[in-house]
Amino acid sequence: MTFSLLQFGCGNMGGAMLSGWLAAGFDPAAFIVVDPMLAEAPAGVQLLREAPEGALPADVVLLGFKPQQFAASAPAIAPHVGEGTLLLSILAGVDIATLRAAFPQAAAIVRVMPNLAAAIGKSPIALYGAAEGALRERTEVLMAPLGPAEWLAEEGAMDIVTALAGSGPAFVYRFIDALAEGAATLGLPRAQADRLALAMVEGAAALATSASAAPGELARRVASPGGTTEAGLKVLDADQRLAALITATLRAARDRSAELTEAARK
């Protein structure tokens, strides 16, 4: 499928998506990036410092900047979103109604929630929108190189997915760091603890992805009765402390996403 994509904003997340597309073999000439701060664009990708006054003939427009910049940026972007345009937005907290009010001419609007693993094709991607037929197919073709995509039935689920799949990598990184820090506290050299923690998590995640058993069952299989793993799990499971901590963490991220949505509507 051939297309042209006009991308407004190419920071960490927008840059990860662009990297994923280029790594998958998409033609760099199909992309135009508008970003006043980006030092340079990947080879073959056109970089503009500001939105041009005349409309650019792009099939897809991606909103890839910070959601707090939406109100100020939307008027300059609107002329580039025409009747045939597929509008993709990764702006957390900016709902479809707000996007439709700002871009009434768009043929379809789809909210996209990826994470930084899109750069290596390993990001879970949540999609919500009313794209039909060829526009839905185009959305799925664009997402395929970035990772497995899931269409959501309700927009409200975006806040939960933002917490789980969008913010989730930071929580996993913090857990890896805590594992290494704990091992270092108990006497292992920190650099060695870091390497072992990273390798362990990589292997565990790969096995969980390929296994037919659920992660909870895999944990049970690792834990021999009366063994070392069981002793550690008893600490994590006592009073449901790990489950309670994770639920509170996700709730805080979800609620902040909902707050951003309300702020964007005003």
201 contacts 176 by C-beta, under 8 angstroms: yes
Based on the fold, state whether residues 63 and 88 are members of the same structural domain. yes
Instruction: Provide the pLDDT confidence category of residue 2 given band limits of 50, 70 and 90.
Output: confident
User: Is residue 163 situated within a structural domain?
Assistant: no
In a domain, 68, yes or no: yes
**Together in a domain, 112 and 183:** no
- The model's confidence at residue 68, banded by pLDDT at 50, 70 and 90, is confident
Range of the domain at 91: 5-153
Assess if residue 20 is contained within a domain: yes
Q: Which residues contact 226 (CB under 8 A, 6 or more apart)?
A: none
Residues 143 and 188 reside in one and the same domain: no
In a domain, 162, yes or no: no
Same domain (yes/no): 118, 38: yes
Q: Are residues 25 and 109 in the same domain?
A: yes
Whether residues 144 and 176 fall in one domain: no
Is residue 215 predicted with pLDDT exceeding 90? Answer: yes
CATH number where 41 lies: 3.40.50.720
7-to-57, 58, 188 alpha-carbon distances in Å: 12, 10, 46
**Residues of the chain above pLDDT 90, percent:** 86
Per-residue burial over 104-122, b if 16 or more Cβ lie within 10 Å, else e, is eebbbbbbbbbbbbbbebe
224 phi-psi bin (left φ>0, alpha ψ -120 to 50, beta other): beta
Each residue of 143-202: pLDDT tens digit?
Answer: 999 999 999 999 999 999 999 998 999 999 999 999 999 999 999 999 999 999 999 999
In a shared domain, residues 35 and 94: yes
Residue 188, domain member (yes or no)? yes
Count up the domains in the chain and report the number: 2
**Domain holding 241: CATH number?**
1.10.3730.10
Q: Which two tokens stand for residue 61?
A: 């427009």
Q: Check if the beta carbon of residue 250 is closer than 8 Å to that of residue 160.
A: yes
- pLDDT tens string 21-62: 999 999 999 999 999 999 899 999 999 998 888 788 789 999
pLDDT in tens, 221-255: 999 999 999 999 999 999 999 999 999 999 999 99
Residues of the chain with pLDDT > 70: what percent?
Answer: 99
Q: H or E element: which one contains 109?
A: strand 108-113
**Do 148 and 173 share a domain, yes or no?**
no
Give dist(CA 134, CA 10) in Å, integer: 26
Residue 257: which pLDDT band, with cuts at 50, 70 and 90?
Answer: confident
Residues 116 and 199 grouped into a single domain: no
Query: Does one domain contain both 233 and 121?
Result: no
For 127, other C-beta atoms within 10 Å of its C-beta total 21
Whether residue 214 is found in the same domain as residue 133:
no
Confidence of residue 266 (pLDDT cuts 50, 70, 90): low
